[in-house]
Amino acid sequence: MEIFGQNVFSQDVMRERLPKAVYKNLKKTIDEGLPLDPSIADVVATAMKEWAIERGATHFTHWFQPMTGVTAEKHDSFITPTDAGIMMEFSGKELIKGEPDASSFPSGGLRATFEARGYTAWDCTSPAFLREEADVVTLCIPTAFCSYTGEALDKKTPLLRSMEALSTQALRILRLFGNQTANRVTSTVGPEQEYFLVDKSFFEERLDLMMAGRTLFGAMPPKGQELEDHYFGTIKERVVSYMKEVNTELWKLGVTAKTQHNEVAPSQFEIAPIFETTNIATDHNQLVMDTLKRVALRHDMVCLLHEKPFAGVNGSGKHNNWSMSSSDGQNLLEPGHTPHENAQFLTFLMATIKAVDEYAGLLRMTCANAGNDHRLGANEAPPAIISVFLGEQLADIMEQIEKGGAKSSKKGTDMQIGVTTLPALPKDTTDRNRTSPFAFTGNKFEFRMVGSTFSISGPNVIINTIIAEVLRQFADKLEKSKDFSADLQKLLQETAKKHKRIVFNGNNYSDEWVAEAKKRGLPNIPSTPEALKELIKKESVELFTRHKVFTEKEIHARYEIVVEQYVKTLNIEALTMIDMAKQSIMPAATSFITEVAQSISSVAAVSSKIDVSAQKETLEEASKLLSAMNKNVKALQKALDNALAIEDLAKQATAFREKVFAQMLALRADGDALEKIVSADYWPMPTYAEMLFIL
Ligand code: ADP
Ligand code: MG
């Protein structure tokens, strides 16, 4: 209790340190989304500075989330020269607006270099915090980042816009249900974060881990995760002590680190906080990832956030638990106790189902990157097909709605929507479907496709916006209605009929589902280059511009950025593989082959009667693999050169996927086969067995 939030300029601290009127003014902006009153900025800045300096801060930074996926910061000290010497100053202007030279951040062509200015703008809805690293304390101010001309260049701006859109539309629905008290609806998120830990000494001996965050070579050890003895197993001492420090750091930052456990794969773990408003949850998830990485180094370990650090073993995801809550304290996805509450719940539920069905491609798109391509469709990862899990009881209710159920009637404020009462829905893990990409879990949806490295901003921008859109359609219809109850029933019935195809309660990992989904006409988009195209479809542009989440220009810029990131990632991986093959694996194999050959001639020199068939076989096999590897290195280089020569970005990405990536797999197969026969004394890098089982 003492350390929790101690490094946060929280509402409590503000209440204590700000003049009453200023505090009230600011709180209104934070709680109700009203525009920030610039005249209070100086007062807030001074209070913030004093608080920070008391805690040892010398610098401040606007902390923002450019399109790189990680956070960015540029530190400025508080020192300001005056006639009397040095003062520690921090003005309202500095709090509200920053002007980093932003020419080196990805902008997708939004910002020409001659107009390199970018702006950061204070997001007062996410609290400022102090970051302690070694003996340096820095005041970090969460900010949005945009171009000189006002286009969003970051992950925060569209998220805030999408939350606004959702609030506007959800309130319209609440009003239709007679709610006059709520003045805001916010989306809430609790992201579960998976990660791997490896000993730092191993990491440093693996060029692939250092360059790409995942192993590009590596044969499977005799033991993987098949004994299922790691999941929820007792946590090793070195790891708990790491987790303890991670928790302490996060608690200081006001992050509610709550759950931690061993995950399925050896050396894989999970941390989950308690859910919060999406904006803050997104900032906090960035802090979680950052803290996991930084604290690991203090324990001589490296935290791998990559979606698939080890081929053949489970990958890491991020389960995005999502719901909506109204300012009068309702969770809008919580089934109610009265028919009235149930009708409202079912309206939001059916809206979600319709949104997921209609915009499945966008949901798939938002989880697409080079790393997640290794995961989607693989073991313990959701397949690339989007579907919704409802559970038996709700699926049954949806069926009743579809059939029409009871007749419409209206008594007082109660209404019937085909079913008057809902059973108490189990919220525990017993009725869970672990394979569904979009699962209803009692009072929230869990979107499981998100990759472990992702900022959760992207997925939540999509979820918020697509649900806002369906709620808009619902509200447009129902606001004109003369008989709300009857028309609501009709609307829900139509929705159930039309969108039941997206509901699937079975095993998403089965081949039957792939076939069944195809029959139902559900999209199955296997790779990133294909998935990303969803973003620039006409329907997507319409959706985002209607709700003012992105302008058309911003959409195209973003598309360009993510496709480029995909290409760059694969390019780095391919180059790393070539280096590893040429500089370590092939030389090691050559030395080994030389030793074997020498053994054959040495033994023969002693006596021609001694059997050297073992050496000969090994010599032959190793030489064959070495020569195959040599060919495949050249083939990869060629595929890479060809892909790099393609000018059209989308075509280039496809070439990387189809040609470069395929060639990488072939090269890896040679390397992994060599690892199995080359003497361990010669093998130039730590093996899977060492990396996965030594902690
Ligand atoms: P599991 O691993 O079984 O899915 P966890 O307990 O690890 O469950 O994670 C569940 C997550 O869902 C937690 O972060 C929790 O705070 C979050 N959550 C619970 N209720 C809501 C809600 N209304 N909105 C968003 N997230 C929620
Ligand atoms: Mg979990």
HEC string of 333-376 equals CCCCCCHHHHHHHHHHHHHHHHHHHHCHHHHHHCCCCCCHHHCC
Which ligand minimizes its atom distance to the CA of 333?
A: 1
- Which residues lie closer than 8 Å to 457 by C-beta, 6 or more apart? 65, 155, 156, 158, 159, 282
pLDDT at 351 exceeding the cut of 60 = yes
326 lines ligand 1 (CB under 6 A): no
Which ligand minimizes its atom distance to the CA of 273?
A: 1
255 lines ligand 1 (CB under 6 A): no
271 lines ligand 1 (CB under 6 A): no
> How would residue 427 be classed by pLDDT, with cut points 50, 70 and 90?
low
Q: With b meaning 16 or more CB within 10 Å and e meaning fewer, what string describes 642-672?
A: ebeeeeeebebbbbbbebbbebbeebbbbbb
144 lines ligand 1 (CB under 6 A): no
Which atom, in ligand 1's list, is nearest to the CA of 190? Answer: 14
Q: How remote is the CA of residue 274 from the centroid of ligand 1, in Å? A: 7
Across the range 641-654, mean pLDDT stands at 97
189 lines ligand 1 (CB under 6 A): yes
Domains with residue ranges and CATH for the chain: 11-154 (3.10.20.70), 165-191+318-416+424-549 (no CATH), 566-693 (1.20.120.1560)
pLDDT for 222: 82
pLDDT for 148: 79
The answer to whether 416 and 340 have CB atoms below 8 angstroms apart is no
pLDDT at 21 exceeding the cut of 70 = yes
Across the range 246-264, mean pLDDT stands at 94
Whose CA is closest to atom 8 on ligand 1? 192
Which ligand minimizes its atom distance to the CA of 263?
A: 2
pLDDT for 112: 61
Mutate to test the pocket of ligand 1, among 192, 260, 277, 331 (most ligand atoms within 8 A of CB): 192
Which ligand minimizes its atom distance to the CA of 264?
A: 2
pLDDT for 406: 47
Which ligand minimizes its atom distance to the CA of 258?
A: 1
Q: How remote is the CA of residue 272 from the centroid of ligand 2, in Å? A: 7
Measured between alpha carbons, how far is 267 from 242 in angstroms, rounded to an integer? Answer: 13
Up-side HSE of residue 111: CA atoms within 13 Å toward CB? Answer: 25
Mutate to test the pocket of ligand 1, among 321, 330, 463 (most ligand atoms within 8 A of CB): 321
321 lines ligand 1 (CB under 6 A): yes
Q: How remote is the CA of residue 625 from the centroid of ligand 2, in Å? A: 42
Q: How remote is the CA of residue 429 from the centroid of ligand 2, in Å? A: 10
Parallel, antiparallel, or unpaired: how do β-strands 57-63 and 75-77 relate? antiparallel
Which atom, in ligand 1's list, is nearest to the CA of 275? Answer: 16
> How would residue 410 be classed by pLDDT, with cut points 50, 70 and 90?
very low
pLDDT at 407 exceeding the cut of 50 = no
Mutate to test the pocket of ligand 1, among 250, 429, 444 (most ligand atoms within 8 A of CB): 444
Q: How remote is the CA of residue 8 from the centroid of ligand 2, in Å? A: 27
Q: How remote is the CA of residue 441 from the centroid of ligand 2, in Å? A: 12
- 341 against 427, higher pLDDT: 341
- 235 against 545, higher pLDDT: 545
The answer to whether 353 and 445 have CB atoms below 8 angstroms apart is no
196 lines ligand 1 (CB under 6 A): no
Which ligand minimizes its atom distance to the CA of 190?
A: 1
448 lines ligand 1 (CB under 6 A): no
> How would residue 223 be classed by pLDDT, with cut points 50, 70 and 90?
confident
The answer to whether 448 and 456 have CB atoms below 8 angstroms apart is no
Q: How remote is the CA of residue 110 from the centroid of ligand 2, in Å? A: 38
Whose CA is closest to atom 11 on ligand 1? 190
Whose CA is closest to atom 3 on ligand 1? 429
259 lines ligand 1 (CB under 6 A): yes
The answer to whether 367 and 402 have CB atoms below 8 angstroms apart is no
- 232 against 490, higher pLDDT: 490
Coil, strand, or helix at residue 437? coil
> How would residue 392 be classed by pLDDT, with cut points 50, 70 and 90?
confident
Q: With b meaning 16 or more CB within 10 Å and e meaning fewer, what string describes 151-174?
A: bbbbbbbbbbbbbbbbbbbbbbbb
pLDDT at 677 exceeding the cut of 70 = yes
Distance of alpha carbon 471 from its chain centroid, rounded? 25
Lookup: tokens for 469: 């859109």
Closest by CA position to 636, among listed 675, 662, 671: 662
Q: What percent of the chain has pLDDT over 70?
A: 94
Q: How remote is the CA of residue 446 from the centroid of ligand 2, in Å? A: 10
pLDDT at 618 exceeding the cut of 50 = yes
Mutate to test the pocket of ligand 1, among 185, 188, 275, 284 (most ligand atoms within 8 A of CB): 275
Q: How remote is the CA of residue 371 from the centroid of ligand 1, in Å? A: 24
pLDDT for 264: 84
Q: How remote is the CA of residue 454 from the centroid of ligand 2, in Å? A: 17
Measured between alpha carbons, how far is 119 from 145 in angstroms, rounded to an integer? Answer: 6
Q: How remote is the CA of residue 192 from the centroid of ligand 2, in Å? A: 6
Q: How remote is the CA of residue 508 from the centroid of ligand 1, in Å? A: 21
Q: Give 274-299 pLDDT, tens digit per residue.
A: 999 999 999 999 999 999 999 999 99
Residue 409: DSSP 8-state: -
275 lines ligand 1 (CB under 6 A): yes
Q: How remote is the CA of residue 190 from the centroid of ligand 1, in Å? A: 5
61 lines ligand 1 (CB under 6 A): no
- Supply the mean pLDDT for the chain: 92
pLDDT for 419: 58
CB atoms within 10 A of CB 356: 25
Cα dihedral 586→587→592→598 (10° resolution): 120
Q: Give 569-591 pLDDT, tens digit per residue.
A: 999 999 999 999 999 999 999 99
Q: How remote is the CA of residue 189 from the centroid of ligand 1, in Å? A: 8
Q: Give 286-334 pLDDT, tens digit per residue.
A: 999 999 999 999 999 999 999 999 998 999 999 999 999 999 999 999 9
323 lines ligand 1 (CB under 6 A): yes
Q: How remote is the CA of residue 571 from the centroid of ligand 2, in Å? A: 33
- The model carries a pTM of 0.94
Across the range 460-472, mean pLDDT stands at 98
Adjacent-strand bridge partners of 142: 63
Q: Give 227-241 pLDDT, tens digit per residue.
A: 777 777 888 899 999
pLDDT for 424: 65
- Which residues lie closer than 8 Å to 134 by C-beta, 6 or more apart? none
pLDDT for 409: 42
Closest by CA position to 96, among listed 41, 43, 142: 41
